[in-house]
A and B are shown apart, each in its own frame.
Chain A
Amino acid sequence: MSEVPGVSDAGALLLPDLDDETSAEFWAGTARGELLVQACGACGAWRMPPRPMCPACQSLSVRWVETNGNASIWSFIVPHPPLLPAYAELAPYNAIVVALDQDPTIRFVGNLLAAPNGAINEVDPATIQIGEPVRVVFQTVEDVALPRWVRR
């Protein structure tokens, strides 16, 4: 078990099911330090979240493309209690949505960190701006590498 900054019981955090057949490849990518996007193996269209069929051409063929990990902040919030205990301990923290530089319609939910190994409640929320450029970093929680973001 890894230690998560600011969290006494990382096991109480909500984590993805790594056996989910649709998204397992994404999480395998984050574990290698890669931010992958699912692309259609036939027409090449990118899609997020991952799914079995391409909505553009109905192909079941899938390939995973490594992105350059650069994005900009699309929106952000600062949650306060009542929250699940493991998150209440961190509150107020930030959560952000980012849009990828390579395709701004591909977005990820994450958190803005002051440093790659920082906690999700360290950046002063008053300083967060929509449009700020960020880059992906990966934080290991239990057996999952979560994509989070730092300013660039």
Chain B
Amino acid sequence: MTRGTQDRSDGGVLKDQTAVVGIGQTAYGKGLPDSELSLACQAISAAIDDAGLRPSDIDGLSMFSMENGREVDVARNVGLGDITFFSEVGYGGGAGCGVVGQAAMAVATGQCTTAVAWRARKRAAKTSRPWAQVDERLGGHQQWSRPFGVIRPVDEIALLTRRAMHQYGYTRDHLANVALAFRGHANRNPVATMHAKTLTREQYMNARWISEPLCLFDNCLETDGALAVVITSADRARDLPQPPAYIHSFAQSIPRQHQVMTNYFNDDPLVGPAWVCARKLWNRSDFQPADVPVAQLYDAFSPLVPLSLEGYGFCARGEGGAFTDDGTLEWPNGRLPTNTSGGGMSEAYVHGFNLILEGVRQIRGTSTNQVTDPACSLVTSGEGVPTSAILFRR
């Protein structure tokens, strides 16, 4: 495998041409006093410092459409240089790897030289809990589910979960495997929200329901905070202080006939956006699922993890639940230590952006649940919505 080999078919032109060279974040909390714009600026500034760069070196911006702080405000606050590329990706949790990958594409094609991508979120902010905004009347896809009491994201995913239990044999024990593995990782990550709180299988089984078959511990946290990454070319990365996390492969997908969250209206609803995203990701990669030693899989809800394990090819269709047995997801001895910072369920829920920083830390060797010398590190964004994924390499 030669770094920088350019297979121009199917997106391979991007392979290893760019890298994440800086990461930064705010503290996690609830009810943080700072605005989302301020949090974004703090995380971006920290990421630029971590990269050993100056704000004026930044000429590209890539952000979630859901951001409250806008590009012009970020640029004027952080003191960025002349911006020659800016872009947004929609669909909330599906956008994380998307904004990083779009920045990488802009760097690789020369539209900018060094870009930042970020997510800032406050749980109390209006845009953070769209389900609680009661419009006069519903239009669009919501009119087919919300009048019947399928209101929150957890309700929408619970319907797919019950179907997976019926069709595949997923069990609550499988979902508990996910919750307990991630909690164990958080217990060894000092910045994780759930650092000091252990979780037992008995506590999981006795937890209150949120939307049967999903209980409290099947849900992600609600977190205030911001995280950012700096992306530049592989050439520039070699002169910077941090070990580069090369963006080896990147993919996005909206599969045919997909509907956001309430994906009940096509031929095969349990085959979600991960499947198309995975096909492209692995086509563009020198690594295949069996080569991947560590993963950060989007976990707004526990069942998204077995569904993603299937979609990204770590097991056969329908076997994602059983794959979680025997500690498969647990650091250090599991076959695939997953969400090694605690993930959205036990570290922080910032639309999956914390998963991206943890994927980079695994490449750097700085995770608190560090896999030994991983050759690559997978990060995925939201399943059940238009999605994206990145495979980092050393």
Seen from chain A, the residues whose Cβ lies within 8 Å of a Cβ on chain B are 12-18, 20, 23, 48-49, 55, 74-80, 83-84, 87, 90, 92-93, 95, 97, 105, 107-111, 120, 125, 130, 141, 144, 146, 148
Contact = CB atoms under 8 A, between A and B. Distances in A.
A83 B139 CA distance: 20
A4 B323 CA distance: 45
A97 B208 CA distance: 23
B202 interface: no
B160 interface: yes
Interface in B152-178: 152, 155, 158-160, 162-163, 166
Nearest to A121: B149
5 contacts: A17-B138, A49-B259, A97-B264, A107-B264, A109-B144
Interface stretch (B210-218, B314-322, B353-361): B210-218
A109 B211 contact: no
Given A76-B162, A87-B151, A92 B138 contact: no
Contacts of B143: 16-17, 20, 23
B162 A14 contact: no
* 8 residue pairs, one from A and one from B, having the closest CB atoms: A17-B137, A16-B143, A78-B212, A75-B163, A77-B158, A14-B146, A109-B145, A80-B209
A55 B152 CA distance: 28
B266 interface: yes
A13 B149 CA distance: 9
Contacts of A12: 134
B132 interface: yes
Nearest to B208: A80
B162 A80 contact: no
Given A17-B143, A130-B162, A77 B150 contact: yes
B212 A92 contact: yes
A80 B208 CA distance: 9
B159 A93 contact: no
Interface of B: 132, 134, 136-152, 155, 158-160, 162-163, 166, 208-213, 257, 259, 262, 264-267
B212 A95 contact: no
Given A77-B211, A80-B211, A84-B134, A15 B139 contact: no
Nearest to A20: B139
Contact of A75 (B132, B144, B160): B160
Contacts of B152: 79, 83
B98 to A, nearest CB: 24
A141 B147 CA distance: 10
A14 B130 CA distance: 14
B268 to A, nearest CB: 9
A137 B132 CA distance: 28
A76 B138 contact: no
A92 B148 contact: no
Contacts of B147: 13-16, 141, 144, 146
B307 to A, nearest CB: 14
Given A17-B143, A80-B210, A109-B144, 14 more contacts: A14-B134, A15-B138, A77-B162, A77-B213, A78-B209, A80-B211, A83-B151, A84-B132, A84-B151, A90-B149, A97-B159, A107-B265, A109-B262, A146-B148
A48 B213 CA distance: 26
Nearest to B162: A75
A95 B155 contact: yes
A33 B152 CA distance: 29
B151 A14 contact: yes
Given A14-B138, A84-B134, A95 B144 contact: no
A80 B212 contact: yes
Contacts of B137: 15-18
Given A16-B138, A49-B141, A146-B147, A76 B159 contact: yes
